[in-house]
Amino acid sequence: MNSLIKFIQKYSNFLVFLLLEVVAFMLLVSNREYPKSYVLSSANRIAASHYERVQHIRSYFDLRQVNTELAAENVRLRNQLVQYANIAEHELEQPTYQYSHLDYSYEPAKVVHAITNQQANTLTINKGRRDSVYQGMGVCNGDGVVGIVASVGERFSVVIPMISVQSHVSCMFAKNNYCGTIEWLGNDIRHVQVIDVATHVDVAEGDTLVTSGLTAVFPSEIPIAVVEKAIIPQGASYYSISARVLPDFKRLNYVQLIRNNAQIELENLQHESRP
């Protein structure tokens, strides 16, 4: 017993060092995929309210740009409205809207903090459990898909954006509905990679990638990215595609949360049908 105490006294430095490093690595490993704990992420109240105050001041500088974007979105929405009105007039017998669109609703949120210069990037938004945000909610803005909610605090949440190495978003080509997956390589925040697209698919520069609607996170046909370069590597059976993302992640201000109204039902159903 005496020798044990002596040993601890002699190596107390090293033991404390070891203990603290083990704690750090345990935290690191348990939060590897995404910040699971909102207390230890920027979704916690102290950090997030600080960022909110900073963002509040900063947002004044972006007003002009935000106005232009809102005007552009207004035009786009008006055009869509006209299209839907036409559909309602002419094709009432054969509704062309997709049923799935009805199950989603949009809610506004504001980005209070954005980390975009790391490999594991994150956004913090000012909506949380209080506003019934749930983990796995889709996030988009007027331009297209932004990311997916990863952890939810009382008033704030952390979003994993598309430009994060942890992010995988299922997508499809708007013109022929072929599906693929979007990944980020970790260095260029304007471009993402599209993987799992077989070489027989017709891919050209300028093709638009949209959400596939295969998962419950996003409704189908929200724009994601535009193909910039598509090559077939020597002897490969899949394309190597680089696409430009539509939202400007450096200057994200307002985003929309996409609530899947059938989320609970869908989850229960998938849970029940699991063997």
Partner 1 sequence: MKVVRDIIFLVVVILLQILLFNNLSCYGLCHPQVYLICLLAMPLTLRREWEMLIGCALGLVMDIVSNSVGIHMAACVLVMFLRQPILNSLVQNSERLTSAVSMATIREVAYIQYALILIFTHQAVVSMLSTFGFAHVGWMLLQILISATVSAVFILGYNLFQR
Q: List residues binding partner 1 (CB under 8 A).
A: 12-13, 16-17, 20-21, 23-29, 31, 35, 37, 40-42, 44, 47, 54, 115-120, 122, 124, 158, 165, 186-189
User: Hey, what are 166's tokens?
Assistant: 């942890």
Residue 189: partners with Cβ closer than 8 Å, 6 or more residues away: 116, 121, 163, 245, 249, 250
Determine what percent of the chain falls in helix, strand and coil, rounding each to the nearest 5. 35, 25, 40
Q: Are 248 and 269 in contact (CB under 8 A)?
A: no
Q: Rank residues 45 and 179 by Cβ distance to partner 1 and give the closer one.
A: 45
Q: Are 221 and 208 in contact (CB under 8 A)?
A: no
Shortest separation between residue 50's beta carbon and partner 1, angstroms? 8
Q: Rank residues 26 and 66 by Cβ distance to partner 1 and give the closer one.
A: 26
**251: nearest Cα among 160, 116, 77, 149:** 116
Shortest separation between residue 266's beta carbon and partner 1, angstroms? 29
Q: Rank residues 24 and 63 by Cβ distance to partner 1 and give the closer one.
A: 24
Please name the helix (run of DSSP H) or strand (run of DSSP E) that holds residue 169, with its range, or none.
strand 169-173
Shortest separation between residue 256's beta carbon and partner 1, angstroms? 22
207 C-beta neighbours (distance < 10 Å), count: 21
Q: Rank residues 94 and 117 by Cβ distance to partner 1 and give the closer one.
A: 117
Shortest separation between residue 102's beta carbon and partner 1, angstroms? 35
Distances (CA, A) of 245 to 58, 177, 209: 24, 19, 9
Note the Cα 101 to chain centre separation in Å. 19
Q: Rank residues 47 and 203 by Cβ distance to partner 1 and give the closer one.
A: 47
Shortest separation between residue 91's beta carbon and partner 1, angstroms? 48
Q: Rank residues 1 and 29 by Cβ distance to partner 1 and give the closer one.
A: 29
Shortest separation between residue 194's beta carbon and partner 1, angstroms? 19
